[in-house]
Structure 1
Amino acid sequence: MAQLHIEQWGDGDRTAVLVHGITADTNSWWRTAPELVRQGYRVVAVDLPGHGRSPRSAAYDLDAMTDAVAEALPERPDLAVGHSLGALLLAGALPRLRPRRVVYVDPAWAAPPDEATAKAMTDALRAQKDWNSERIRVSLPRWELPAREHKLTALRRWDPATLDAFDGFAGYDPPAPEEPSLIVLADPSRNVPPPWAAQLSARGFVVRVVPDTGHVVHNEDFDGFWAVLREWL
């Protein structure tokens, strides 16, 4: 894949890399990045293939997207954060990125239970391409105005063909982490339901839930999200 678009904030002596989720772009981190800068980080965020200002591709698959992320981001960051699809790709890129600490925000690790559910989920995401500002306001009532505006811009730039990358997705069951790893979950989380969260905790992950939040935890309740992240850092 062609070189991905990168955004950077700050010039701290520690590096944090951020990987957004499906339909979003680097502006998903509009509040997270400045807070990390205030904590002394240089922040580097990537637009995934077919998202934001990154180029589109003739075809998308998870392996190629993982490779593109690993090539675009600096190695050995002090912190790596991925949301949803970004968390899935980040997990695959760990052997090459080798971050010192990792945060997965409501990671897209669970496979749909059946083909009908998978199709319904894909159709619902694909339909977002036609959302306008009013639909975003109604659908995401807890998001602040800048977050909704960023969502609209991201949807206009997003290539829905990226959903093809999930064709045949059988789920991802992460091994025990080699580096300190935090999982921040929505409430409730369809991606990591409580029984699986308990298993991951026993495996060595730190698991935290931000109460009463939807999938994009850092836009649903940034204060709650940041409280969890800052305490863990």
Structure 2
Amino acid sequence: MLLNALESGYGDRTIVLLHGLMGSAESWWRIAPLLAGQDYRVIALDLPGHGHSPRDAEGTVESAAAAVVETLQQLSPGQHITAIGHSYGGTVLAAAADRLPLERAVYADTTCAFTGGADRQALAAQYAEGRERRRDPAWLMASRPYYSARDAAVEAHAADRFDPVTAASISSGDDVAYLPAPGSILVRAVPSSYVTDDDARRFAAQGVDVRSVAGAAHTIWYSHFDEFVASLPEVFQV
């Protein structure tokens, strides 16, 4: 499966951006132009069931990872890449990492793991209900006061194109757990609803460089853009 990509920049270095669940490639709307202006070729992908990428009623993390690998083999064959994966996108990145020519992997507020075994039909209904709420930019801004008007518009647009059945399929299979390779970077919000202190210590013990952004929301760059950028001097030229 080939995924839809938003490409920008013409640098010698390639960076790949993987959004979280219910987001899209447009979720990086503020990050991508910054990187493109720093001599990166930026490839932001819509994961399966998101944005303009194909839906997959039998999708898994592994099939999403395979789609990422296949797409990048088409778009950047043989090129070493830096990749940033947020939340679910981080889990997909961890699943694909050993098949990608990675120079650096960055995981944003994710443990690269979740519990499977959900009731597919019931979960699809829950995702459909959540999609309806998120289609309203006003609701997004009321529930997430740190959103700018552009953030809300982008995420409402993502909700319009989000497929609940694909998302439900991903969580109805087996439990999922990946461990980022030593030398990877994890940037987490503190406090985080996703990455506990124990998780952070476990990752650090395995050689993952754990960094924190105090007070940030789950989508760190929406609430704390400057702090997120500053936490990754290896990626952003700051």
- Please say if residues 60 and 173 of structure 2, whose CA atoms lie closer than 8 Å, have aligned partners that are also in contact: no
Counterpart of 1:9 in structure 2 is 8
Counterpart of 1:192 in structure 2 is 195
Q: Distance in 2 between matches of 1:133 and 1:212?
A: 23
Q: Distance in 2 between matches of 1:99 and 1:176?
A: 11
Q: 2:151 aligns with which of 140, 147, 152?
A: 147
What's the CA shift for 1:77? 3.1
Matched, 1:102 2:105: yes
Tell which deviates more after alignment, 107-116 or 138-147.
107-116
Q: Which stretches in structure 2 are left out of the alignment for 5+ residues?
A: none
Matched, 1:57 2:59: no
- Please say if residues 85 and 108 of structure 1, whose CA atoms lie closer than 8 Å, have aligned partners that are also in contact: no
Matches within 5 A, 1:34-113: 34-73=33-72, 74=76, 75-112=78-115
Counterpart of 2:175 in structure 1 is 170
More strand, by proportion: 2
Structure 2 SS opposite 1:210: strand
Counterpart of 1:129 in structure 2 is 131
Counterpart of 2:27 in structure 1 is 28
TM-score scaled by structure 1?
0.88
Identity level (%): 36
1:209/1:124 CA distance change after superposition, 3 Å = farther
1:107/1:175 CA distance change after superposition, 3 Å = closer
1:72/1:166 CA distance change after superposition, 3 Å = same
TM-score scaled by structure 2?
0.86
Q: CA RMSD in A?
A: 2.6
Q: Which stretches in structure 1 are left out of the alignment for 5+ residues?
A: none
The amino acid of 2:34's aligned partner reads E
Matched, 1:215 2:218: yes
CA displacement 1:86-116 (0-9 Å, x = unmatched): 1111111112212101100112524359979
1:186/1:124 CA distance change after superposition, 3 Å = farther
